[in-house]
Amino acid sequence: MDDARFEQASYGARWWAIVALVCLAALMVVGVRRIASQRRCKAMSAARIGWFVPFPVLLAGIFLWYACGAGAQSAFDLVLCCALIAACGIASLCPRELVAAMSGRRTLRMGTGVAVMGTLALEFMWNDKVSSVGPQFALIELALVGGLLAVLWLACGRRGIGPALGLGSLAVLGAIQHYVLEFRGTSILPSDLFAAGTAMSVSGGYTYGLSDGMLGGLAALSAGLLMASLMYPARQLDLADGKGHAVLALRPLASIGLLAATVAAMAALVCVPDYGTTFGADLDYWWSKDWYERQGFIPSFVYAWQDMAIRAPNGYTDELAQAAEDALSARYESDADVQTRRAASTEQFVGRCPNIIAIQNETFCDLSNFDGLRNGYAGPAFWNEGMTDALMRGSFAVSVFGGGTCNTEFEFLTGNALAFVGTAKYPFTMYDLGTTDSLPRQLSACGYHTLGMHPNLASNWNRDRAYEQLGFDEFLSEDDFAGAEEFHTHVSDWATYERTLDLLRATDKPLFVFDVTMQNHSGYDTGSIPQDMLRNYAIDGLSADDTFQLNEFLACIDESDRALQRLVAELRQLDEPTVVIMYGDHHPWFSAALNDVLFAGEDDLTHAERIHQTSYVVWANYDVAGWSRTSDTDDTSADLLAAMTLDAIGAPLSPFQTAQLGARQQIRSLNANGLLGSDGAWHALDDPGEYAQTLEELALVAHRNFGASL
């Protein structure tokens, strides 16, 4: 976000920082006086002062948030939150008075209160519709939160420090969920735990604001901390009584037994019941936020965890899968026109194996497909007008949105569709891919040197391990691009293309380069792009923030377009046959808001698929035998593009790929939510209509190819 715009958006919020400052000052004055008076008469311990510290820290944090202009909008929520935090802070210094006002069962009552506040701290942070959570899910979440806090209480010697740490963790989890939803548009899923390192490495590119709901979460956290501060053990039993010695001796054993029983009960609640059939939980991974809001974070997360296993199709056997593969392959092999073309390109491929440059361009998509943004936007110029001699091009269906780059990589490199693996899974981080059929392994068998390239951390999405398992001979990452040209705070597309050209000129072997670019990575409020390079579109109904990000994003796409034009110009002069495949891995997260504004009221499937379609092109610097160079439009998807390209240039195909191409006579594109039929319409996977049999056959073949081998 540029400085002028940031100042304009945040000026009013900064004045409200005074509220937090006043509450902080009042809390410190009263608190210091209370501590001083109690310390003089030795009535206050250091531990009690420690319980006081989080409250001024919270108020100081809120003050800084507002002072930086990133505060919430509701003044009432701010005043209420700050006043409650200050009141809880003062009350934390008066434990004797509070305990005296209670009548027995203090620990149980406070523990129950802490569990309720922990649940609210988690939910308030991100869930604006917390009141709509179903009663069965609310009880499940409360039980699991209560169990967690009880475990921590017992593990910490029946003291409140354990529940307090649990409270803080729940609040942090809620905040993370809030920011994941804000920046990626989807909820935290179990598979995200395997990608935490990647998330941390790219987290610096965002602006973190404080929402109204987060103020509610901080208020609940404060109330919970006050209650936890009262969960200290009662006065020790009278040791003069012989029974006191016995009870004290048994207490550790009782705590261990209770701890084990609590952990077992929590494990049973998570693992034993099927959350779908028993409690009615469900999850549409395309609209996970809606389901998480209705079911609560923890029940939804547990359901997604239970759904992580790759499920075999109904009635699956290896024999059925083999029969399906044979049937689908027969469709491909029976097409006389295809086989005639294929014979010519195969003969050519054997004589001159072309270099293959596959570019997975970060967040590349042509938003002119959004009805020209209703502003006459024509899209990237060279992409749409300068590649009229491409082999094929069209829409490119992907299974991720706003992030999840590695899943598009996985689909392209292995041909395995996330529709049959599961959208909540990241195979790069979850599975051993050492025996998985892959494009680099396939091309290595043809004599290619295979190289993966990503100008960022090698560990992102576990690429350093996954690429080795997939059979790449070499992997270039961030360290190999030290000092390279940057655009939009990241290594530029052109820097990776220039390195690719150097590699082409330096080797005599045919080369396969898989280039995962970084230039266009979010966020799009960096203010790093010169003003004269920005588009200046205004979309009616789109927020000012999303509009700013749209224009910065379009500037990135323009720069990607110029870099591609330079690459193609260089390759036209290269005296080596070379094929270029380029596609976008996913849409930027703000495309959801753009989609809602421009295409309100349409059916869910059409609406979802629009933001899961990027673009692709396959171009060659030589005449591919048997293939016209007329840039024919042929929409496809990430799992099918490699097979289509190898088929076009005459490269050897695996039995799985010939089955894919046979199925493609009916199913033109496939992603995790739907299929594009030969009728030109999208169909939901759970209602494929006339394509049901082909989809079932393809599912059998796909599971045999990947899921059954894990």
Rounded Cα–Cα distance for residues 363 and 228 (Å): 46
Average pLDDT over residues 428-434: 89
Q: What percent of the chain has pLDDT over 70?
A: 95
Classified as helix, coil or strand, 529 is coil
Instruction: Give the residue-averaged pLDDT of 495-508.
Output: 96
- Structural domain boundaries in the chain: 9-306, 318-709
pLDDT at 3: 43
Distance of alpha carbon 702 from alpha carbon 663, whole angstroms: 12
Q: If you average pLDDT over residues 395-420, what whole number do you get?
A: 96
Mean pLDDT of 6-32: 80
* CA dist list (Å): 243 to 234, 246, 248, 414, 541: 16, 5, 9, 69, 74
The least confident of 61-70, 218-227, 321-330, 432-441 is 61-70
Output the pLDDT for position 125.
97
The mean per-residue pLDDT over the stretch 447-473 comes to 95
C-alpha torsion 486→491→496→502, nearest 10: 60
Q: Which of 12-26, 195-209, 271-285, 663-677 has the highest mean pLDDT?
A: 663-677
pLDDT score, position 183: 82
| Six-digit token string for 68 | 């930086």
Q: Where are the alpha helices (DSSP H) in 507-654?
A: 544-573, 591-598, 604-610, 641-649
pLDDT band at 251 (very low <50, low <70, confident <90, very high): low
Contact status, residue 582 vs residue 617, Cβ threshold 8 Å: yes
Average pLDDT for 629-644:
93
**Is the pLDDT confidence value at 189 over 90?**
no
| Average pLDDT score over residue span 601-621 | 96
Let me know: does 151 contact 266? Beta carbons within 8 Å: yes
Higher pLDDT, 223 or 288: 223
What average pLDDT does range 196-215 have in this prediction?
Answer: 81
CA distances to 205, 520, 527, 563 from 487, in Å: 14, 8, 12, 11
User: Residue 586: its pLDDT value, please?
Assistant: 97
Is residue 240 over pLDDT 50? no
List the structure tokens of 340.
Answer: 């005639």
CA dist 350 and 646 (Å) reads: 12
In degrees and rounded to multiples of 5, residue 536 shows phi and psi of -130, 50
Give pLDDT, residue 235: 53
The pLDDT mean for the chain works out to 92
Per-residue model confidence (pLDDT) at position 238: 43
Average pLDDT over residues 253-258: 83
- Encoded amino acid at 546, one letter: D
Banded model confidence at residue 471, pLDDT cuts 50, 70, 90: very high
The predicted structure's pLDDT at residue 194: 73
Residue 513, pLDDT > 70, answer yes
Query: What 3-state DSSP class applies to 148?
Result: helix
Measured in degrees and rounded to the nearest 5, phi and psi for residue 331 equal -65, -45
Residue 72: pLDDT over 90: no
Say which range, 143-157, 510-524, 617-631, has the weakest mean pLDDT: 617-631
When pLDDT is cut at 50, 70 and 90, the band that residue 627 belongs to is confident
At 632, the pLDDT band (50, 70, 90 cuts) reads confident
Instruction: Write down the pLDDT at residue 329.
Output: 97
Residues listed for the chain: 710
State the pLDDT confidence band at 457, using cuts at 50, 70 and 90.
very high
Q: Are strands 682-684 and 474-476 parallel, antiparallel or unpaired?
A: unpaired
Q: pLDDT at position 13, please?
A: 63
Question: Is 245's pLDDT higher than 60?
Answer: no
What is the reported pLDDT for 44?
Answer: 81
Q: Considering Cα of 91, then 175, then 47, then 37, what sign does the dihedral take?
A: negative
Burial class (CB in 10 A: 0-12, 13-18, 19+), 396: buried
| Collapsed DSSP state (helix, strand, coil) of residue 683 | strand
Mean per-residue pLDDT for 665-691?
96
Other C-beta atoms within 10 Å of 478: how many?
Answer: 17
pLDDT band with cut points at 50, 70 and 90 for residue 462? confident
Question: What is the fold, at CATH topology level, of the domain defined by 318-709?
Answer: Alkaline Phosphatase, subunit A (3.40.720)
* Mean pLDDT confidence for 326-353: 94
Q: Summarize pLDDT for 483-495 with one digit per residue, the tens.
A: 999 999 999 999 9
Of 13-22, 220-229, 271-280, minimum mean pLDDT range: 13-22
Integer Cα distance of 110 and 99 in angstroms: 10
> What tens digit of pLDDT does each residue of 309-320 get?
898 999 999 999
Give whole-number Cα distances, 108 to 101, 231, 262, in Å.
15, 9, 15
pLDDT of 659: 98
pLDDT given for residue 144 in this prediction: 98
Calculate mean pLDDT across residues 252-264.
88
pTM of the model: 0.75
pLDDT digits (tens, 9 = 90+) for 549-588: 999 999 999 999 999 999 999 999 999 999 999 999 999 9
**Residue 192 confidence (pLDDT):** 81
Of 10-14, 510-514, 636-640, 663-667, least confident by mean pLDDT is 10-14
CA dist 34 and 94 (Å) reads 9
Reply yes or no on whether the pLDDT at 196 is more than 90. Answer: no
Q: Work out the burial of residue 325: count CB atoms within 10 Å of its CB; fewer than 13 is exposed, 13-18 middle, 19 or more buried.
A: buried
- Is it the case that residue 188 has pLDDT exceeding 50? yes
On the question of pLDDT at 450 being above 50, the answer is yes
Contact 330, 662 (CB under 8 A): yes
What is the average pLDDT across 406-431? 92
Calpha distance 638→404 (Å, rounded): 13
Residue 128's nearest CA partner among 300, 303, 292, 302 is: 292
pLDDT in the model for residue 99 = 84
Q: What's the pLDDT at 234?
A: 62
Percent of the chain surpassing pLDDT 90 = 78
Please name the helix (run of DSSP H) or strand (run of DSSP E) that holds residue 176, with its range, or none: helix 161-184
